Amino acid sequence: MNLRERKKLATWHAIRSAALRLFEEQGYEATTVEQIAAAANVSRATFFNYFAGKEAVVFDQDPEERQAWQALMTGRPADEPLWDSLTAILTGFLESLRDRMPLQRRLKAQSPVLAQSGQNFGERFFTELREWVTSRAAHGDEITATLQFNLALAAANTAYQTWPDDESFDGFLERLERCFHQARPVTATG
């Protein structure tokens, strides 16, 4: 990464960090773009060069995360059962959100605007994971691969939806593991 790219990434992180801190302190609704820009020591125009709006600050993925999740996918052994690969990748991805996911969840619970948002963190990840699953499908068996992908997503969504507000992130990960175990296909071999 060259100097210009590092500076852009540092600015992106500064804006997000300032925004999340302000959201935590004063709430999503009460925080303005101007306050975020001032706290990040950038102009309002610079804020909009990096984020489409306040909602994007909450849900956009860190530009460096893509490399991490691609490594999760490419690091799985080719002969590993698809279900085992899927659950390991999803667990790794969700673990990478340890610092952000609880705050995003609280903000959605506190903000009617965010609660009604159709945007969700991880959209790009899930698109790439679906493509990865398709590439791993045994020739002519895309149905089984797609079904396992959908089962794994349903298990992850169930863990998230049933995660009590007073439970730690580690509790969420235990819940996730339990959901993956219960959703595991009887013949998860490919």
> pLDDT > 90: what percent of the chain?
63
- Domains of the chain with bracketed CATH: 3-58 (1.10.10.60), 65-183 (1.10.357.10)
State both tokens at 15.
């804006």
Q: Residue 107: its pLDDT value, please?
A: 85
User: What are 112-146's pLDDT values in tens digits?
Assistant: 777 776 556 677 888 999 999 999 887 778 898 99
DSSP one-letter string for 98-115: TTTHHHHHHHHHH-HHHH
Q: How confident is the model at residue 187 (pLDDT cuts 50, 70, 90)?
A: low
| Residue for token pair 């773009």 | 33
Across the range 22-36, mean pLDDT stands at 94
Distances (CA, A) of 17 to 23, 29, 36, 100: 10, 17, 9, 10
Predicted confidence band of residue 58 (pLDDT cuts 50, 70, 90): confident
Element (DSSP H or E) covering residue 34: helix 33-40
Looking at this protein, which amino acid is placed at residue 67?
Q
Q: Which two tokens stand for residue 47?
A: 């804020």
Q: Which phi and psi (to 5°) does residue 109 adopt?
A: -70, -30
- pLDDT tens digits, 144-159: 899 999 999 999 999 9
What confidence tens digit (pLDDT) does each residue in 71-111 have? 999 999 999 999 999 999 999 999 988 988 888 888 888 88
